[in-house]
Copies of this chain bind each other. A is one copy, B any other.
Amino acid sequence: MKIRRRYTCPLEIVHDFLRGKWKTIILYQLKHGPKSLTELEKCIVGINQKMLIQDLADLIEFQVVNKIKYEGYPLKVEYSLTAERGQKIIEAINILQSIGKEYMNENGMKI
């Protein structure tokens, strides 16, 4: 992660990090266990491979995601949440998700 400016509050670091279009969604999709690149690509509607790989790299660097390479052929790589920071950030994302649910109910929105 590149530092973009001088932060005046620890919150700004994390918010700047999560601000992009896809990172929270990627994390959310890893909530129920490891997934491969192509699995992620399939379940995240609208994302393209470039963004997915780019954001996964960021998530790994920030230590919210692990990358596991399995040796041998065919190539197999899996991504999963880290036990520490990954799980913690998911707590926050869960809250946001539940706010979204409420909001949709109140406004008669459907997926």
- Chain A residues within 8 Å of B, Cβ to Cβ: 5, 7-15, 18-21, 24-25, 28, 45-46, 62, 85, 88-89, 91-93, 95-104, 109, 111
Contact = CB atoms under 8 A, between A and B. Distances in A.
18 contacts: A5-B46, A7-B109, A9-B111, A10-B97, A10-B98, A10-B100, A11-B100, A12-B25, A12-B100, A13-B100, A14-B100, A19-B19, A19-B21, A85-B103, A88-B99, A89-B96, A92-B92, A95-B95
Question: How many copies of this chain sit in the oligomeric assembly?
Answer: 2
**Secondary structure class of chain A's binding surface, majority of residues:** helix
Contact of A92 (B5, B95, B109, B111): B95
A20 to B, nearest CB: 8
